[in-house]
Amino acid sequence: MLKRNAIILSAALSATFAFPLAAQDTDTPAALEAEPAVEMIDVKGDTVIATVNGDDITMAHVVAARMSLPEQFQSLPDDVLLPGIVEQLIQQAVLGQAMGELSHRAEIRLENQRRELAANDKVDELVSSAVTDEALKVAYDAQYANAEPTQEFSASHILVETEDKAKELIVELDGGADFAELAKEHSTGPSGPGGGELGWFGPGMMVKPFEDAVMAMEDGKISAPVETQFGWHVIKRNESRTKGAPALDEVREELAVQIETDAVEAALKALLDAATIDRIALEGIDPAALRDMTLLDE
């Protein structure tokens, strides 16, 4: 569907570009004189933009069409899109009128599209009123009011294949070698090119042997060789800090998404519980039927 719409819109846009080019070929000095200003229309949704064999195309139709444009057309300026979309709708109208009644295949797809549009409208309705200051406060308190401060660490590491190699590197470090340079030269891990820097992390974010070693160290110290499933690590604990609950503004967007999701899930559960739904056992259907396009014509 999107591909066919893109073909029609491309043709429509080409047509709109062609008109001014053709005009330039016949322009005369008299034609180039200043034209009178066009009176702007007070546009409403039901403003008729074009009529095709008695079928009206309104501004609401144009706006809706813009919303569903393929991505490659979204960045075009409005003064290009407006005539292009109008032309697209006109072309769709004459093609549709030439077809006459919708095919069974088209009717099936239209039913699905109506369900999708109605469902999306209901979701929009639910989320539009779900996120309030009060709801944000409740969600924040539920998640963070009793949150214990957590300790976070900043560390670097050098990952090598053997314990002996790790010990060799520790000797070099004890002798004054630069940790970051050794990591760039010897580490087989993805952080090697960055000097072994792992950034800040908290409990549960690293494999347990690595985390245990970091937690047992002091800031600025280097570990003995630590083995994990990835190999042998030489670890430097750079810094540590205690992090409390974030401010509401820091997590506002995250909480808003959760509130919206919860609102939709709660409404959906209530609607499903109240609905009468009869299902057949899908085990009796060959999954390959999902790709049988001839079923759309039956």
Which amino acid type is present at position 232? W
Any domain includes 281: no
Domains held by the chain: number? 3
Residues 6 and 96 in one domain: yes
Domain ends where: 220, 243, 266? 243
Residues 235 and 194 in one domain: yes
Which pLDDT tens digit goes with each residue over 25-74?
A: 444 555 555 566 778 888 899 899 999 999 999 999 999 899 888 888 88
Any domain includes 173: yes
Tell me which residue has tokens 């088209």.
Answer: 106
Residues 210 and 142 in one domain: no
Domain hosting 221: range is 150-243
CA dist 260 and 96 (Å) reads 39
Which pLDDT tens digit goes with each residue over 61-76?
A: 999 899 888 888 888 8
Any domain includes 185: yes
* Mean pLDDT, residues 265-286: 92
Judged by average pLDDT, the poorest of 230-234, 237-241, 271-275, 283-287 is 283-287
Output the CA–CA distances (angstroms, integers) from residue 128 to 121, 123, 151, 190, in the order listed: 10, 8, 37, 43
CA dist 192 and 184 (Å) reads 5
What pLDDT is attached to residue 73? 85
Q: How many CB atoms lie within 10 A of CB 242?
A: 8
Residues 135 and 206 in one domain: no
Judged by average pLDDT, the poorest of 117-121, 202-206, 288-292, 294-298 is 294-298
Give the residue among 63, 64, 82, 214 at the shortest CA–CA distance from 151.
Answer: 214
Tokens of 99: 């077809």
Phi, psi of 169 (to 5 degrees): -65, -35
Residues 160 and 235 in one domain: yes
Any domain includes 260: no
Distance of CA 141 to the CA centre of its chain: 28
Any domain includes 140: yes
Global pTM value: 0.55
